[in-house]
Amino acid sequence: MLSQDKIKSLIHHSNFDLCKYALEYFSESFSKDEEVLGLALEVIEKLNSFDERKVLIYLSNLYINEENFITILNKLSRKNSNYDLYEKILINAEISLLEKYEKQLNTAIKLMKNSFKQRIIVHNKTTNELLEELKKFSEKNNNKYINEFDFKYGKNIAYELSMRKDIPIDKLLKDFKQNGVEDEYDGYYEGYLAYLFGELKEEKAISLLIPKLGSEGDLINEEAMKGLGKIGSDKVVEEIYQNFKNNTWEYKLFASGVLTIIKTEYSEKINEELFMQEEDLSIKTELAANLCKLFSKQAIEPIKEMILKEGYDEDNRDLREDLIYNAIANNVEFEEMSSWLKDLEKEKSRTNNIFKSTLPIANQNKIGRNETCPCGSGKKYKKCCGTSEK
């Protein structure tokens, strides 16, 4: 596994796709390293608006300091076709920055003005008011589809609660345990609490969140996955491992997602063990991709052998691409690399044309989280360009 400093250096790599792969590493792990966004903004200065967008989709999960905040705010003051993604980065900044630059943001923000105002409003409420509002808002929207109400508003409340020192964590853990439901579009309160536990890095929530990875509903699976990933401790990784072998396909899929978020040597070790043991091709493909995203050098050869002898889940991703980026980062070459790169270049040319036809995304109808991403990657939107939605 490469060091974080080495991976940061890849952001300026001459191979643009490897640059994006390095940024995905930090985006997936909700990195708090403030240097990363600055490095990405340096790269963007050299790009056209089309390639700029390909970088921006990875940046809204990253920590933003005041210097980078001002840089992006200045970009919004000028005409920019990618303003929607720049807005997402600003909206996720610390509340102190939003308040300090409230006047400028009111002028610059176009698409996400409502979300910006919500951040300010919820910040000015008491902790008890926020707890009551979150529960009422969740109950009010039970039985609605996620695109039929402002789901992000509940996230804004939960995020603000995570900043409070007087939050009654034991009561919320009890609420989560008592109020869990299985329906994908019911029980939003449970989903918001899973998000909150992740922001708090609450280890007491691990045993409650782990079973939710195998739930039939898509929402709670995803929020539990992100929550556990943000907690990010060795205990989370160990619990994933202990519950993996004989569990359901749904559990394994979302558990693999947790291991994607947690970028540690122990996560790499467990990923490798599970990869060697797994028989389901789709899950094994996910675990192989995880190892590549961790830039695991020792995994290069066994993953190459898997591709050549067993194959992989081509409907999910092109595992050859993950392997090549991992190999380049680790200065490893193998016989098939040249021909695979040519294949990938042909496919990239095709998907670029599809991606261009979707621009500007900001002016189109909202894309469903489970719909195929319009960029042409073949992945679900939530696992591709939708990763910029925190």
Q: Is 255 helix (H, G, I), strand (E, B) or coil?
A: helix
The DSSP code for 336 is: T
Question: Residues 251-297: pLDDT tens digits?
Answer: 999 999 999 999 999 999 999 999 999 999 999 999 999 999 999 99
- Main-chain phi, psi angles of 363, to 5 degrees: -95, 5
CA 379 – CA 42 distance, rounded (Å): 28
CA distances from 96 to 15, 93, 101 (A): 37, 8, 9
Burial class (CB within 10 angstroms; exposed 0-12, middle 13-18, buried 19+) of 123: middle
Instruction: Evaluate if residue 389 carries a pLDDT over 60.
Output: no
346: its two tokens: 């042909």
Q: Which pLDDT does position 78 carry in this prediction?
A: 84
CA distances from 247 to 210, 250, 327 (A): 11, 8, 32
Type of residue found at 164: R
CA 209 – CA 228 distance, rounded (Å): 7
CA distances from 75 to 61, 72, 81, 97 (A): 19, 5, 10, 16
Instruction: Evaluate if residue 161 carries a pLDDT over 60.
Output: yes
Percent over 70 (pLDDT), the chain: 88
CA distances from 274 to 260, 265, 280, 287 (A): 13, 14, 11, 7
Q: Which pLDDT does position 184 carry in this prediction?
A: 45
CA 225 – CA 255 distance, rounded (Å): 7
Q: What spatial distance separates the first Cα and last Cα of the chain, rounded to whole Å? A: 26
CA 201 – CA 195 distance, rounded (Å): 10
Phi-psi region of 167 (alpha: psi -120 to 50; beta: other; left: phi over 0): beta
Our CA angle for 7, 299, 207, nearest 5°, is 80
Q: Would you state the torsion angle of the CA atoms of residues 362, 368, 373, 374, taken in this order, to the nearest 10 degrees?
A: -50
Paired with 380 in beta bridges are 372
Supply the pTM of this predicted model: 0.89
Q: Which pLDDT does position 58 carry in this prediction?
A: 97
Q: Which pLDDT does position 187 carry in this prediction?
A: 78
CA 347 – CA 61 distance, rounded (Å): 28
Query: Where are the domains positioned within the chain?
Result: 125-250, 263-334, 341-390
Q: Which pLDDT does position 384 carry in this prediction?
A: 61
What average pLDDT does the structure give for the chain? Answer: 90
CA 371 – CA 115 distance, rounded (Å): 23
Question: Residues 169-207: pLDDT tens digits?
Answer: 999 999 999 875 544 445 799 999 999 999 999 999 999
Handedness of CA 83, 366, 112, 87 (dihedral sign): negative
Residue 174 CB partners (closer than 8 Å, separation 6+): none
Q: Which pLDDT does position 77 carry in this prediction?
A: 84
Q: Which pLDDT does position 363 carry in this prediction?
A: 44
CA 26 – CA 7 distance, rounded (Å): 9
The DSSP code for 372 is: B
Burial 267-304 (b: 16+ CB within 10 A, else e): bbebbbebbeebeeeebbbbbbbbbbbbbbbebbeebb
Q: Is the bond preceding 360 in cis, omega lying within 30 degrees of 0?
A: yes
